[in-house]
Amino acid sequence: MDNAIIVSFISCVLLGSCTSSPPNFVLLFADDLGFGDLGCYGHPTSLTPNLDRLAAGGLRFTDFYCTSPVCSPSRASLLTGRYQTRSGVYPGVLYPGSRGGLPLNETTIAEVLKPLGYATAAVGKWHLGIGANGTFLPTRQGFDQYLGIPYSHDMGPCQNLTCFPPDVKCFGLCDVGTVTVPLMYNEVIKQQPVNFLDLENAYRDFASDFISTSAKKRQPFFLYFPSHHTHYPQFAGPGAAGMSLRGPFGDALLELDNTIGSLLETLEGTGVLNNTLILFTSDNGPELMRMSRGGNAGPLRCGKGTTYEGGMREPAIAYWRGIIQPGVTHEMASTLDILPTIASLAGAKLPQVMLDGVDMSNILFSQGKSKRETMMFYPTNPSETYGVFAIRLEKYKAHFYTQGASHSGTTPDQDCSIFASLTVHDPPLLFDLEADPSEHYPLSLDKRPDLQAVLGRIRKVKEQFEGSMVFGESQISKGTDPSLEPCCSPQCEPKPNCCHC
């Protein structure tokens, strides 16, 4: 019996809702959010009542991973179910004038669902390329509608922009010498620079209208909401500014949580909440170089930019009222697994390519074992020369290489900073992540034939995986072209300063 039939049966029995309506999917993706940043993950001063409510009524993951410690590669893997090395979204991230982007021959979750009649929309941070004439925008990748900033909101000058009311300027300079950050609807610039104080309201209204319209049409839908929160520079409108105990970071997080609360109200009000799977996670770990403005990795080591746990282990929540039973799972899962899981639940065909994700249904609906035994840890600049930096096999993680990052500077742990240069470990550093999730105490292999056997298994997994990995052409290495930067007045001079509307 396939998963689509199983879910329909559970819905019929538990909810008295015997309908063949395909499930809806809402995918919420935070930005630079650390493992320890949510109230339900132990932060003492974060105000996240709606996410906490989803966690209390759904399934909270303790061992959930992204595939890259920086933005663009992580997003590519989320939407395709494939490591970023396959799609070519590496090294580092895409920029406003990047020539490359997520290749159009890659199949996104939206493109998997479209043949089944799903309405699809993306709202928020895209960061998978724009390209000439909008080649790589969401509307070219399976999404019917898009509202958002097509890259990171710090990729434009922000020193004169207002991030908090009444007129508190954004912290820092952000990127200078480029166009101000635009707000796009589909492929048209609606505002440049964006108004940060009203941005979340625009996103909330767009997402709520999309849900309401789809529900009214009785059309199944997929909503992808990659938020800008809590990436630097933090911002928040009147509904959240000054209302948390964590300062700017906490206010930004609260604004995201408020939006999630509004979406839950819309799902409830339109009568589709019981038929909607909601998934929440983040793209990578916290940017510790920002100190209190950069998030918190909880007990995990380091953060953004590194292949330590703090860089790639993420908070994650799955909620489906009446279908997913409340609880906590310690099973290993990944953003890679979201596409295969959604495809299975919708009864959609999987792309005919090498997928790295597995179906999580057994975890979600039975709180059973994961099909995933391993997780690969690529650095921000993966290469065929070095291959994976670390591998997790069951509860053990082996670091073959370690390296710090500027994103994780300012912490007392010197192994996190940019001054911690690339180090080869032979034999690899081996950690038991159940006993030592902070990766402080490497296991000694002396007189431990059991650990020698584990390491032998890990080496075999590494050999097999790297033997199957075909690196796609690097999209980011194609470079940038200032003429590709989005400008609402394309013929104006002098650029980039004249791009205002």
Ordered by where they begin, the domains of the chain are: 24-372 (3.40.720.10), 377-467 (3.30.1120.10)
Tokens 């590494």 — which residue? 462
d(CA 371, CA 337) in angstroms, rounded, equals 10
Q: How confident is the model at residue 1 (pLDDT cuts 50, 70, 90)?
A: very low
Side-chain-side CA neighbours of 49 within 13 Å: the count stands at 5
pTM of the predicted model as reported, rounded to 2 decimal places: 0.96
Which of helix, strand or coil describes residue 17? coil
| Both tokens assigned to 164 | 């908090």
Among the options 40, 66, 71, 488, which is catalytic? Answer: 71
What pLDDT, in 10s, does the model give residues 406-448? 999 999 999 999 999 999 999 999 999 999 999 999 999 998 9
Q: What one-character DSSP code corresponds to residue 70?
A: S
Q: Is the distance from CB of 253 to CB of 46 less than 8 angstroms?
A: yes
d(CA 343, CA 69) in angstroms, rounded, equals 26
What pLDDT, in 10s, does the model give residues 254-276? 999 999 999 999 999 999 999 99
Q: How confident is the model at residue 14 (pLDDT cuts 50, 70, 90)?
A: very low
d(CA 378, CA 254) in angstroms, rounded, equals 31
Q: What is the pLDDT of residue 4?
A: 55
Side-chain-side CA neighbours of 338 within 13 Å: the count stands at 34
Q: What angle do CA 79, 185, 228 make, to 5 degrees?
A: 55
Q: What is the pLDDT of residue 32?
A: 98
311's enclosing H/E stretch is: helix 309-312
Assess whether 487 carries a catalytic annotation: no
Neighbours of 2 (CB within 10 A): 11
Assess whether 488 carries a catalytic annotation: no
Q: How confident is the model at residue 8 (pLDDT cuts 50, 70, 90)?
A: low
Q: Is the distance from CB of 123 to CB of 203 less than 8 angstroms?
A: yes
Question: How many Å separate Cα 444 from the centre of its chain?
Answer: 35
Which of helix, strand or coil describes residue 188? strand
What pLDDT, in 10s, does the model give residues 307-318? 999 999 999 999
Orientation of helix 71-80 relative to helix 338-346, angle to 10°: 30
Question: How many Å separate Cα 323 from the centre of its chain?
Answer: 24
- Residues of the chain with pLDDT > 70, as a percent, come to 96
Q: What one-character DSSP code corresponds to residue 240?
A: T
Q: Catalogue the E-assigned strands of 244-348.
A: 276-282, 313-319, 327-329, 333-334
Among the options 40, 43, 66, 127, which is catalytic? Answer: 127
Q: What is the pLDDT of residue 111?
A: 98
By residue count, the chain amounts to 501
Tokens 């990052």 — which residue? 405
Q: Residue 312: phi, psi to the nearest 5?
A: -140, -10
Tokens 């590709």 — which residue? 484
Which range in 1-10, 210-219, 490-499 is most confidently predicted, on average pLDDT? 210-219
Buried b vs exposed e over 205-242: b needs ≥16 C-beta within 10 Å?
A: ebbbebbeebbeeeebbbbbbbbbbbbbbbbbbebbbe
Q: Is the distance from CB of 99 to CB of 478 less than 8 angstroms?
A: yes
